[in-house]
């Protein structure tokens, strides 16, 4: 009788555990690598849109808050998350365009997140395209806003698109 109760309890819990491991590929640890392109280093701090390091910190924070175990260094990780932000140059610096519009600012225009698993027991999710949809085509998010939106979008996509879709507030 005890064996059948324990077996029944295990069968009830198994689907929940399987569902959780599919939506959270970082149960055993994920390393995050930011690939800024050819130079390999993050761009300079922008006077309006902020620092690229705030984007990196916000992205990691959102994943950690969602229960993903983010680790330092790729040898300690079962999954490596590669985040490739695409820099957007010649972005409008002032809130409203007028005469002599200043286009000397830069921020992130879009990004791609890819997963690679070193553990055969862990299935890596598909790649996630991060495209902020702004009401004004000349408006872009700050680095920190983009990092938060990217993290929320990765969590949303790996959960199978369940729940409300993340939204971003672009700087206008």
Read off the pLDDT of residues 132-155 as tens digits, 9 standing for 90 and up: 888 777 788 999 999 999 999 999
pLDDT of residue 160 exceeding 80: yes
Q: How far apart are CA 165 and CA 154, in angstroms?
A: 11
User: Residue 23: is its pLDDT beyond 80?
Assistant: no
Q: Kindly compute the dihedral angle of the four CA atoms of residues 47, 50, 53, 56, in this order, to the nearest 10 degrees.
A: -150
Contact 127/139 with Cβ under 8 angstroms?
no
Checking if the pLDDT of 88 tops 50, the result is: yes
Taking Cα atoms as reference points, which of 132, 159, 120, 157 lies closest to residue 55?
A: 132
Q: How confident is the model at residue 56 (pLDDT cuts 50, 70, 90)?
A: very high
- Per the model's pLDDT, the better-predicted residue between 39 and 28 turns out to be 28
Domain ranges of the chain: 2-158
Indicate the burial class of 134 (C-beta count within 10 angstroms; 0-12, 13-18, 19 or more): middle
**This prediction's pTM:** 0.80
- CA–CA–CA angle 144, 72, 53 (5° rounding): 20
Q: Could you say which of 3.30.160, 3.30.300, 1.10.3470, 1.20.1630 is the CATH number of the domain covering 2-158?
A: 3.30.160
């Amino acid at each position: 009788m005890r064996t059948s109760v324990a077996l029944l309890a295990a069968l009830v819990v198994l689907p929940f555990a399987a569902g959780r491991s599919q939506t959270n590929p970082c149960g055993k640890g994920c390393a995050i690598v930011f690939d800024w392109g050819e130079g390999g280093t993050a761009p300079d701090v922008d006077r309006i849109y902020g620092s690229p390091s705030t984007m990196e910190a916000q992205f990691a924070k959102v994943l950690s808050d969602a229960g993903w175990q983010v680790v330092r260094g790729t040898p300690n990780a079962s999954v490596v998350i590669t985040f490739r932000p695409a820099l957007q140059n010649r972005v409008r610096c002032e809130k409203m365009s007028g005469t002599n519009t200043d286009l000397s600012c830069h921020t992130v225009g879009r990004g791609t997140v890819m997963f690679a698993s070193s553990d055969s027991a862990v299935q890596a999710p598909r790649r996630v395209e991060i495209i902020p949809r702004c009401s004004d085509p000349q408006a872009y998010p700050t680095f920190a806003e983009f990092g938060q939106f990217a993290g929320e979008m990765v969590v949303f996509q790996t959960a199978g698109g369940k729940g409300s879709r993340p939204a971003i507030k672009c700087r206008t």
